[in-house]
Chain A
């Protein structure tokens, strides 16, 4: 078993270990989960290092490549008569996503340190979910991809339904059904791609050699893109997201907004655009317009929210809009911006939901108006919150800035297949959201942390404890790293983005 398979197997093995421990040793369960995800983080570091060594010499060659190059490939025939294989590997984009997921699950486990009901089931499901996520990012066979994709969605139902708050059953059901209807369309698209290629394989790179007719791409591309768009919160199919996120327990919101929503952008880029460049050209402008609505609608929605979680959830809708907007621009800047935004938004929103969980655990309220002056009693949490907030409104020096700049530049440059006036107008409209974001982030944070302490109960609240400091510190460190030294990150992903671009033709 190679490194890549270990990355998928490790959370699963951790889950098995968790399942074997009796419920009464619940302390041991959370330690096992923390150690398991800690080891995973180390493995991810190793993967990044080895990938860097292996891939950097090829970077120049990738500038003109038509097909993405995979490293550490493992393939085993599986259902041979149908051309299905176990086929995993990495390229730059998947490495970036694996780093993101690994960080989020580690901090998510730390953030769930104080879960006290049905601990075993909670960590078991969390780890199962994350197995699916890693599987999606690392598999290059469409069947395998789809298998992991649904595996990543389904544990969500129980995680929200059992440990959630508020109208949890409604939210859980809505989320699960909407995401699975999305995946149903993805499945139809995959089967159509498989049969239309006539190649008798589900291998993504091999299918990339197939020439699909324009008529075929005209209907399959939007199907797959929208299918992935559901999980990427594409307007108007985003409605599961605010409900789901606000009902979910802390770690689940973190994973969901931080990682799961990225599956949408990843799938749209990796599969829809990669396999159907002609379809992407036909539909690019339509999706650009839809995602512009996303960006504005999400940020305007966030202004009106009174619950911190709804507030963050709407801001996620807006920020995930940037990802799909970047994909729809169909140029280098836009693609790069989309991938950086996936990463930075993942970290940022993970930080947000983690912090909200920590604040809620102390104040027992999430209503913004009921809080005030919390910065005085919990300076660490307040500082972290501010850094996250500034990243989200795109302050230079933080990851959000890098991402948003790329996306907007990409949108402004446009592409030869969409009317230039239209793309420019849409970009300008989307840029307005920065102002709106600044309004809601600054106003919201000021309400919660600044001013006099509104409620006498708040005066004796404690600041962050060690696991909480560790997890928030790690997330903020990542935001700063990508924000200050973006070129490392761009070097990592750019060689893998070039083939996508070359396939579009210029």
Chain B
């Protein structure tokens, strides 16, 4: 059953919605548990499925890259659900108002996940676009989930408008592609396109690149990110920062490799310029942020710039490097967000300065947060360093030494602002009345796992090697 993981996710969404009808307010926490079980089942189904193949007349294809994206996406959703549970169940020291409707929350979350999983497997313009919308539209609702919070509403509205704009660009680009080639199959379009280079073609390229850039927060299409990240409920911010980044990358894979694969080599310079501006702007703006969620938004923008290095060349190692770094990024970023969510649950605060003295009030969480931030900054021997090193290596092998230098210097700049947080945690003394801040078991276990991932992924080569082995021949069929 090639489509089993996707179907399980959709089924879980529906089951959660139905079961909710029969639960009282006191037993409604069960919906979270059911969601987790459903995701576990989907993960198990994905892991045990080693077959690759096509369904629905070639409109739905599972290949090595799609398989890895499925795993990454389910992982991101799984952790997000755990992170959401305390907040939604009201199991926090500081109650966050307006966060009810658990079953609907999980259901909507699962639908976005299903959309994301379909997106990377789709091979047809129609299914491609529909799954993109399925991944995006429920997200608006999630961003605006805190009904009586003005910021949350603002986040939702901004997200709707800007995402709708990028979707309309994408659909325009797709229409042009169809007009040029008369095909809806992505591979067929990629094959035929070289015969149709003209103004309309370049217009389509511009539309799709702008749309993809917006989904992946590439500068200058990143404007929605900061406000949405800040306003959305924090678990959703976490989900946006990893899952939506992951699906952005999947979208880039589909567009750049599958449709425009033939031009990617010539377009390297353009990719390098996007990469350079994205990482530089993201890093520069992050320096002046005070709110930690906004701060993480710009950090995420700059990370998108590093990912783009993988498209240079292009070669097989780039695919593996990007997928591996996505895994590392998901684990690391969720590691940071677990701390942010925990701290917000316990103290209700989200400014960077509020973290002062954390190393005294909860040394273990401070340590884990520090290590995760170092990993984001690319400090060895953590996984973030290894992932970035592989990406830099791709750029270097493509001859973009200036870009490697810029990226490496950017990593140092990013270290500067990550150190600002670390300085608050470790160097500044805690408030006089500060007491030890407790942590719930759920969050502690999650953070411990993520922390282990941050450390181990960089040291144990198995996972990278298996990604590399799986995707070694993937690109050869697409680049002509």
Contact = CB atoms under 8 A, between A and B. Distances in A.
Nearest to B409: A184
A176 B390 contact: no
B393 interface: yes
A188 B389 contact: no
Given A162-B426, A188-B401, A192-B401, A147 B412 contact: no
Contacts, number: 84
Contact of A147 (B381, B397, B416, B468): B381
Contacts of A49: none
Interface string B361-387: 000000000000010000111000110
Given A79-B464, A188-B408, A191-B393, A157 B419 contact: yes
A110 B161 CA distance: 64
Contact of A151 (B381, B401, B408, B426): B381
Interface of B: 317, 320, 359, 374, 379-381, 385-386, 389-390, 392-393, 396-397, 401, 404-405, 408-409, 411-412, 415-416, 419, 422-423, 426-427, 461, 464-465, 468-469
A282 interface: no
Q: Dominant SS at the A interface?
A: helix
Contacts of B409: 181, 184
Contacts of A307: none
B411 A184 contact: yes
Interface in A183-218: 184-185, 187-188, 191-192, 194-195
A124 to B, nearest CB: 10
A150 interface: yes
Contacts of A53: none
A388 B265 CA distance: 61
A395 interface: no
A449 interface: no
Given A80-B465, A81-B317, A192-B396, A150 B411 contact: no
Interface string A64-99: 000000000000001111100000000000000000
B418 to A, nearest CB: 11
Contacts of A121: 359
Given A157-B419, A158-B426, 4 more contacts: A154-B379, A173-B419, A187-B408, A195-B397
28 contacts: A79-B386, A79-B461, A79-B464, A79-B465, A81-B317, A81-B468, A146-B380, A147-B380, A147-B381, A150-B379, A151-B381, A154-B379, A158-B422, A161-B427, A162-B427, A169-B427, A177-B415, A177-B416, A180-B411, A184-B405, A184-B408, A188-B404, A191-B393, A192-B396, A192-B401, A194-B396, A195-B396, A195-B397
A195 B397 CA distance: 6
Nearest to A187: B408
A143 interface: yes
A181 B385 CA distance: 15
B426 A161 contact: yes
Given A79-B461, A184-B409, A185-B408, A191 B396 contact: yes
Contacts of A173: 416, 419
Interface in A323-340: none
Interface string A104-141: 00000000000000000100000000000000000000
A147 B469 CA distance: 24
A68 B468 CA distance: 34
A151 B380 contact: yes
A176 B416 CA distance: 9
Interface string A148-172: 1011001001100110000001000
Nearest to A148: B380
A84 to B, nearest CB: 8
Contacts of B359: 121
A185 B385 CA distance: 15
A58 to B, nearest CB: 33
Contacts of B422: 157-158
A115 to B, nearest CB: 16
B412 A161 contact: no
A150 B385 contact: yes
6 closest Cβ pairs, A-B complex: A184-B408, A191-B396, A147-B380, A180-B412, A161-B427, A188-B405
